C-alpha cells in the first residue's frame, strides 16, 4: 500500500527540483527520501523523475501524479497546521496581494461572494512575489509566472485589450474599421496612458495602425482607472485592458475604436500561492478564477462588431504572429 509520507516526499522533491533539497524540507536524510521515492515509483508503475545536471526533472508520469495529489496534500497540510496551532475553528485570515487596480476591479467583486476574511496588500509583481516568498502573503495575483518551483500557480482569465475613446471624440465607423485610416486619423490627437514608455501602444501603432506612435500624450497617470476616467472625460484615446474600462464600456461612457485592440495579445494573470495551501486560501483562489473573467458586454463603438473577448483575442494573437512585450504596463 502506498503511504502518504511517500507522496509528501515526492511533492517536496518535485517542487525543489532536487532529492537532497526535498529531503531537507521533509526532515529526512537523502537515502531515506530516495528509498521512499523508489517505493512510490514501484507502485506508480514507472519512473517519476529523471536525473539532470541541476538535480531531477519530473517525467510525464511524475507530472501526472503531481497534478493528482499536490492540491489534496496542500489542503491536508493546511488543516494539520491549523490543528497544531489550535485555530482550526477560528476564522482564517487570507492575505492577498495585487495591484490596486486589479484588486478594485477583479478581486473585490470575487471576494464579495465568499465568507473569507481578507487583508489586501498592493504592489507590483516583484514586490508581491517577495512578500509571498517571505510568508507575508498567502496569495499573490501576478501578471507573469514566478520562476520558483516551490510556488503553486493557478492561471486566471486573461484580460483582452481595447482601444477606447469618448463617444464624442470617436471617428466615423468607416475610419475605425480600417486600421491604416484609423492610424492617420489618430495622428496628432490627444492620448492618455499610465507610463511614457507605452510598449504595447507603440507596437500597436507600428504593426497594426501602420505608423510610429504619433499621438499627443496629454496625460500620464500610474493607475488604469484614472486613465479610463480621463478617456471618458474626453482627454484622449487609450489602449486599456478591458477590466480597467469595462464599466465605462457597458454604460457607453467610452466606446471601442474598431477591433484593432483585438490584435494585442491579452494580458495574462496568475494566482500564486505557497504550499501548503489551506482550504480557505483555495476557496479564495477558486473564487477569483471563477469571477475574474465575468465582464459586462460593452456597447458597440464605431466599426466594432459583436465578437471579441478572450477567444477572439487568442485568434488575433495567432494571426499577428508578433512577439509582444510582457510588461504589465503599456
Per-residue pLDDT, 291: 76
Q: Which of 252, 230, 261 is nearest to 296 (CA)?
A: 252
Grid cell 494573470 is found at 269
Between 148 and 143, the higher pLDDT residue: 143
Instruction: Using a pLDDT cut of 70, give the percent of the chain over it.
Output: 84
Higher-confidence residue of 281 and 211: namely 211
Confidence band, pLDDT 50/70/90 cuts, at residue 91: low
In whole angstroms, give the CA distance from residue 312 to residue 316.
Answer: 6
Q: pLDDT tens digit string along 12-67?
A: 999 999 999 999 989 999 999 999 999 999 999 999 999 999 899 999 999 999 98
* 93-157+268-291 CATH fold: D-Maltodextrin-Binding Protein; domain 2 (3.40.190)
Does the pLDDT value for residue 267 go beyond 80?
yes
Mean pLDDT for 290-313 is: 47
By DSSP bridging, strand 255-256 and strand 117-122 are unpaired
**Stretch(es) of the chain classified as CATH 3.40.190.10:** 93-157+268-291, 161-266+297-320
Predicted local distance difference test score (pLDDT) of residue 82: 67
Q: Rounded CA gap, 14 and 40, in Å?
A: 13
Hey, what's the cell of 44?
506508480
State the pLDDT at residue 86. 58
> What is the chain's mean pLDDT, rounded?
84
pLDDT computed for residue 305 by the predictor: 42
132: part of which helix (H) or strand (E)? helix 125-133
Q: For helices 60-84 and 279-291, give the axis angle rounded to 10 degrees.
A: 120
- Give the 3-state DSSP-derived string for 144-191, with helices as H, strands as E and coil as C: CCCCCCCEEEEEEEEECEEEEECHHHCCCHHHHCCHHHHHHHHCCCEE
269: Cβ–Cβ under 8 A, 6 or more apart, which residues?
102, 106, 141, 142, 143, 155, 156, 157, 158, 159, 292
223, with CB counted inside 10 A (0-12, 13-18, 19+), is: middle
pLDDT at 76: 81
Query: What is the spatial distance between Cα 141 and Cα 172, in angstroms, rounded to a whole number?
Result: 39
Contacts of 114 (CB under 8 A, 6+ apart): 283, 284, 287
> What is the third-level CATH fold of 161-266+297-320?
D-Maltodextrin-Binding Protein; domain 2 (3.40.190)
294 — pLDDT class (breaks 50, 70, 90): low
User: Model confidence over 222-245: pLDDT tens digits?
Assistant: 999 999 999 999 999 999 999 999
Total-model pTM: 0.64
Q: Find where cell 481578507 sits.
A: 118
**Contact between 118 and 88 (Cβ < 8 Å):** no
**Rounded mean pLDDT, 317-328:** 35
**What is the structure's pLDDT at 135?**
85
Assigned CATH topology for domain 4-84: Arc Repressor Mutant, subunit A (1.10.10)
pLDDT at 188 over 60: yes
Cβ partners under 8 Å of residue 37, min gap 6: 6, 9, 10, 13, 19, 48, 49
Interval 142-171 mean pLDDT: 92
How confident is the model at residue 85, as a pLDDT? 61
- Ranges of CATH 1.10.10.10 domains, the chain: 4-84
Say if residue 323's pLDDT is above 60.
no
- Whose grid coordinates read 486589479? 102
What percent helix, strand, coil does the chain show, rounded to 5?
45, 20, 35
pLDDT for 303 beyond 80: no
Cβ–Cβ < 8 Å for 74, 4: no
Amino acid 327: pLDDT: 39
Q: Give the Cα separation of 235 and 228 in Å (integer).
A: 10
Q: Average the pLDDT over 74-87 and give the result.
A: 70
Amino acid at each position: 500500500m502506498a503511504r502518504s509520507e511517500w507522496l509528501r516526499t515526492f511533492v517536496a522533491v518535485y517542487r525543489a527540483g532536487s532529492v537532497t533539497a526535498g529531503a531537507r524540507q521533509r526532515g529526512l536524510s537523502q537515502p531515506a527520501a530516495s528509498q521512499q521515492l523508489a517505493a512510490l515509483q514501484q507502485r506508480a508503475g514507472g519512473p517519476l523523475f529523471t536525473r539532470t545536471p541541476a538535480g531531477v526533472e519530473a517525467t510525464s508520469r511524475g507530472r501526472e501524479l503531481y497534478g493528482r495529489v499536490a492540491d489534496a496534500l496542500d489542503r491536508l497540510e493546511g488543516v494539520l497546521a491549523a490543528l497544531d496551532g489550535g485555530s482550526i475553528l477560528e476564522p482564517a485570515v487570507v492575505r492577498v496581494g495585487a495591484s490596486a487596480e486589479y484588486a478594485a476591479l477583479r478581486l473585490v467583486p470575487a471576494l464579495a461572494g465568499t465568507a473569507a476574511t481578507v487583508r489586501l496588500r498592493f504592489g507590483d509583481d516583484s514586490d508581491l512575489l517577495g512578500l509571498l516568498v517571505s510568508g507575508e502573503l498567502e496569495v499573490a495575483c501576478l501578471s507573469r509566472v514566478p520562476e520558483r518551483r516551490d510556488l503553486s500557480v493557478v492561471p486566471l482569465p486573461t484580460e483582452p485589450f481595447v482601444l477606447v475613446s469618448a463617444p464624442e471624440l470617436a471617428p466615423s465607423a468607416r475610419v475605425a474599421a480600417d486600421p491604416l485610416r484609423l492610424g492617420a486619423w489618430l495622428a496628432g490627437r490627444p492620448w492618455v496612458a499610465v507610463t511614457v514608455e507605452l510598449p504595447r501602444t507603440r507596437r500597436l501603432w507600428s504593426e497594426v495602425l501602420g505608423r510610429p506612435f504619433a499621438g499627443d500624450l496629454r496625460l500620464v497617470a500610474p493607475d488604469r482607472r484614472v486613465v479610463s476616467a480621463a478617456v471618458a472625460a474626453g482627454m484622449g484615446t487609450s489602449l486599456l485592458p478591458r477590466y480597467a474600462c469595462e464599466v465605462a464600456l457597458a454604460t457607453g461612457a467610452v466606446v471601442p475604436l474598431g477591433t484593432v485592440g483585438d490584435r494585442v495579445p491579452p494580458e495574462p494573470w496568475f494566482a500564486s500561492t505557497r504550499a501548503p495551501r489551506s482550504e480557505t486560501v483555495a476557496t479564495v483562489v477558486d473564487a477569483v478564477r471563477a469571477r475574474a473573467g465575468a465582464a459586462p458586454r460593452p456597447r458597440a463603438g464605431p466599426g466594432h462588431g459583436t465578437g471579441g473577448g478572450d477567444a477572439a483575442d487568442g485568434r488575433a494573437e495567432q494571426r499577428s504572429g508578433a512577439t509582444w512585450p510582457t510588461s504589465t504596463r503599456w
